[in-house]
Amino acid sequence: MGEKMKKMKKIWDNNRILIILSTIIIICFFIIVGICFKYFFGASSSNYGDRLDNIQNVTLKEEEKTKIINKLKEEETVKTVEIHTQGKIVYIRIEFDGVSLEKAKEIASSTIPEISDEIKELYDIHFTIVKNDTESAKGFTLMGAKNINRTNLIWNNNTPISESSNEE
């Protein structure tokens, strides 16, 4: 066994720097692999990460949804209303019949006071307003959003442009 120890000592003496550097490289490789694994396959099981931490404490209750829907249905021009929540966004889709674009925006905006301040402070509110084409009037699709940091709605006209209007 003494001979093997002499050979090991000779290898160590001749390659000491190479062995130390190789050991450092191997340790760094394992550290990098560990960090990458934690980063890409971390413990977060939610698509939203920790952005939804306070959401379970404040939710849009069915009574509040019903109150908003009833407020909108008071208007004769409102055909259908759909409300759903995804993440920190409340989506409200309103379909109108026989209403102007400005009146539709006014009706949608009138629902903001019906939403509790807790919801407005934690959730963004997105409106989609739709009116289908009729023989007498052109339809529209309009989207509005109220960010938690804002008090008013910002509107964006998303009415598709038909090919017949492009040819004119």
What CATH number is given to the structural domain containing 103?
3.30.300.190
Spatial separation of the C-alpha atoms in residues 46 and 55, rounded to whole Å: 13
Q: Which pLDDT belongs to residue 33?
A: 94
Q: Which pLDDT belongs to residue 165?
A: 47
Place of tokens 């000779």: 10
Classify residue 48: in a domain, yes or no: no
User: Same domain, yes or no, for 66 and 32?
Assistant: no
Whole-Å CA distances, 152 to 19, 126, 149: 67, 12, 9
3-state secondary structure of 91: strand
Mean pLDDT over residues 63-82, rounded?
90
User: Same domain, yes or no, for 82 and 124?
Assistant: yes
User: Same domain, yes or no, for 66 and 36?
Assistant: no
**Residue 4 Ramachandran class (φ > 0 left, ψ -120 to 50 alpha, else beta):** alpha
User: Same domain, yes or no, for 67 and 37?
Assistant: no
Contact 134, 101 (CB under 8 A): no
User: Same domain, yes or no, for 79 and 146?
Assistant: yes
User: Same domain, yes or no, for 108 and 73?
Assistant: yes
Residue 164 pLDDT grade (very low, low, confident, very high; cuts 50, 70, 90): low
DSSP 160: P
Expressed as residue numbers, the domain containing 82 is: 62-163
Strand 89-96 and strand 124-131: pairing? parallel
Is residue 50 pLDDT above 90, yes or no?
Answer: no
User: Same domain, yes or no, for 149 and 122?
Assistant: yes
Mean pLDDT over residues 85-93, rounded?
90
Backbone angles phi, psi at 69, to 5 degrees: -60, -45
Domain count, the chain: 2
Contact 77, 136 (CB under 8 A): no
User: Same domain, yes or no, for 70 and 142?
Assistant: yes
Spatial separation of the C-alpha atoms in residues 5 and 11, rounded to whole Å: 10
Is residue 29 pLDDT above 90, yes or no?
Answer: yes
Sequence-ordered strand ranges (E) for the chain: 78-86, 89-96, 124-131, 140-146, 154-157
User: Same domain, yes or no, for 79 and 123?
Assistant: yes
User: Same domain, yes or no, for 39 and 68?
Assistant: no
